Amino acid sequence: MFRPVERKGGTCRFPPLSRVHTMSIASRLREVRTRIAQAERRSGRTAGSVQLLAVSKTFPAAAAQQAYDAGQRLFGENRLQEALGKMPQLPADAVWHIIGPLQRNKVRKALEAGVKLIEAVESLRTAEAISRISGELGKETGVLLEVNIDNELSKHGFSPQELRAEWAQLAALPHLEIRGLMCIPAPTEEPQQSRPAFASLRLLAEELRVRGPYSLPILSMGMSHDFEVAIEEGSTEVRVGSLIFGERCYPTTGHE
Ligand SMILES: *Cc1c(COP(=O)(O)O)cnc(C)c1O
């Protein structure tokens, strides 16, 4: 049975027993779900309005399967190649989102494999490619647009200014359904420090909603260390990895 790993560092993909966390994935999941419910209640959100996406990157399919057995159905992977390896190993009703940037030359593969939502569309060019390939495959593809909400130099994603400027072109793409926005705020010590970034993403979505034609129901924001603050600021989908599966053995937060 796969056990979450407690500590960072070393080759902990196949951890020795001494480094293995005693809490199972099922109980960790239960705890995360409880905290989500509490954050919903605290912030006056409807119960069940926040979806939990389990980020299984770097962990084996067996770990994702344990989450599945504990009732989890929504999974996220950063890299398409890794997702393609795991998707066939889980039951068909597991839903997979790609949460890392998807190269244009991998879009067809992702769509053919049944990826449900591409969460980190980071440029008009990528959006155009997804629309064109979706058209060729006779489908409409759901996407989220990734916003570089803190205007970090090193980060992918639309700057808010860029997104406003390109919105009309994005909204006109025929085989794309823009379902919402996602962001990864700049790293912070304290979860509270991400609050302004989360609030900005919500306000940006409200502004674009008014411009139409999309209702943008999804705000994908919040990770293991700050998901409760994100929920308080309107997140509808939190992407949680290490709290469920344990620490990863190499840094894979954000984009790699
Ligand atoms: C890795 C990753 C997560 C999950 O991070 P944790 O801190 O382990 O919860 C969420 N979103 C994205 C885009 C990621 O790359």
Residue owning the nearest CA to atom 4 of ligand 1: 241
The closest of 120, 121, 82 to 254, measured between CA atoms, is 120
Q: What DSSP string runs through 186-245? A: PP-SSGGGGHHHHHHHHHHHHHHHHH-S----EEE---TTTHHHHHHTT-SEEEE-HHHH
Q: Is 229 in the pocket of ligand 1 (CB under 6 A)?
A: no
Q: Is 65 in the pocket of ligand 1 (CB under 6 A)?
A: no
Handedness of CA 157, 160, 165, 169 (dihedral sign): positive
Q: Is 240 in the pocket of ligand 1 (CB under 6 A)?
A: yes
Atom of ligand 1 nearest to the CA of 119: 13
Per-residue confidence of the chain (256 residues) as pLDDT tens digits? 666 654 444 444 444 433 445 589 999 999 999 999 999 999 999 999 999 999 999 999 999 999 999 999 999 999 999 999 999 999 999 999 999 999 999 999 999 999 999 999 999 999 999 999 999 999 999 999 999 999 888 788 999 999 999 999 999 999 999 999 999 999 999 999 999 999 999 999 999 999 999 999 999 999 999 999 999 999 999 999 999 999 987 654 444 4
Residue owning the nearest CA to atom 12 of ligand 1: 254
Instruction: Indicate the domain borders of the chain.
Output: 17-245
Atom of ligand 1 nearest to the CA of 182: 13
How far is the C-alpha of 197 from the C-alpha of 209, rounded, in Å? 18
Structure tokens at 60: 């084996």
Q: What's domain 17-245's architecture?
A: Alpha-Beta Barrel (3.20)
How far is the C-alpha of 96 from the C-alpha of 74, rounded, in Å? 6
Question: Residues 9-62: pLDDT tens digits?
Answer: 444 444 443 344 558 999 999 999 999 999 999 999 999 999 999 999 999 999
